[in-house]
Amino acid sequence: MIILDATAVLALADGHKSLNQLAANMARTPGDALWVPALCLAQAEADSADAGRAALAFSSVMVDALDTVAAVTVGTLVRDGFGGPDTCHALYCASPRPQFTGMSILLTACEDRYPPGIVSVDIDSPGMLGFY
């Protein structure tokens, strides 16, 4: 599962070359998607008008809803000091869950927001798309 946090959503909406290429490539592969936690989408929209609409224009971008279990877990993470609601929802989505098997990759412009054990990749890293 590939997850975009609020910073990655803002970059995608702003035309970030690598993210746009990734979203376009995933749209051509059935079953592949870029997942955006709902609170990250809300934060991106709060930070920049129409960022949510621009990101959701890609058919490969899906929203991970804030269901009951997620709401309680995200609230606990915020209370325990892991960051704001958007960061904690991204952290929740990147953690192992029964709905998504395999390793999750969190794409972000701020790798330092996430604790060790979460695979976070800087959207501007040279190898993000496999090119060095």
Beta carbons within 8 Å of 95's beta carbon, 6+ residues apart: 104, 118
| Sign for the pseudo-dihedral over CA of 48, 52, 53, 56 | positive
Q: What pLDDT sits at residue 23? A: 93
3-state secondary structure of 63: strand
Residue 20's identity, in one-letter code, is N
Question: Does the pLDDT value for residue 129 go beyond 70?
Answer: no
Say whether pLDDT at 12 is over 70. yes
Q: Yes or no: say if 39 and 32 are a contact pair by the CB < 8 Å rule.
A: no
Question: Which H/E stretch holds residue 68?
Answer: helix 68-79
How many residues belong to the chain? 132
Each residue's pLDDT tens digit, 58-86: 999 999 999 999 999 999 999 999 999 99
In this prediction, residue 130 carries a pLDDT of 57
* All residues at 6 or more sequence positions from 56 whose CB lies less than 8 Å from its CB, including other chains: 41, 63
- Distance of alpha carbon 43 from alpha carbon 91, whole angstroms: 15
Residue 132 has pLDDT above 60, yes or no: no
For residue 99, the model assigns a pLDDT of 73
| Stretch 7-33: mean pLDDT | 92
pTM, rounded to two decimals: 0.91
The pLDDT of residue 67 is: 93
